[in-house]
Amino acid sequence: MKTKVYKFVLASLFLMIATLLTSCEKELNVQQNFPFEVKVMPVPKSVSQGQIVEIRCQITTPENYAENQYFIRYFQYDGSGNLRIGNAEPLLPNDTYELPNKIFRLYYQSLSQETTMFSIWISDSFGNEQKVDFEFTNIRKEK
């Protein structure tokens, strides 16, 4: 009787170990695709024609993956103006530009006497994307 119980326990233990060893993956699963959020400091609601507005932005992620790259594009759908990253040349609408850092400053210059509206899209190298909308009403200068 003891040998039957002993054989049963031994066989059960062998099956458990075999199941555990075959169920493990040999490759380590490393997550590289992390969602992100774009935080923007408050900006004025009204601007005058020719005025430059600084837009401070920060990309935040729950984890940091060094090889992830971030990109920006913008489209102005009402009014006219130009958008720059730092001191660079104005961005062209719907063209994609690489962002060098997760913390960056955009400079928008209104060239319109009307309300201006535009959107920026921040995307990463894994296809995640965030949209931020801006609207500035025009301050007409008194003559």
Query: What pLDDT is recorded for position 53?
Result: 96
Residues, the chain: 143
Most confident option among 17-21, 106-110, 125-129: 106-110
Q: 29-59 burial string, b = 16+ CB within 10 Å, else e?
A: eeeeeeebebeeeeeeeebebebebebebeb
Q: Residue 132 and residue 122: Cα distance in Å, rounded?
A: 8
Which CATH number is 37-138 given?
Answer: 2.60.40.2410
Tell me if 47 sits within 8 A of 53, measured CB to CB.
yes
Helix (H, G, I), strand (E, B) or coil at 38: strand
pLDDT per residue as tens digits for the range 18-71: 776 676 666 666 656 678 999 999 999 999 999 999 999 999 988 777 778 999
Q: What's the rounded Cα separation, in Å, for the pair 105 and 136?
A: 17
pLDDT at 14 over 80: no
pTM reported for the whole predicted model: 0.75
Mean pLDDT of the chain: 87
Q: How far is CA 106 from CA 22, 50, 141, in A?
A: 53, 16, 25
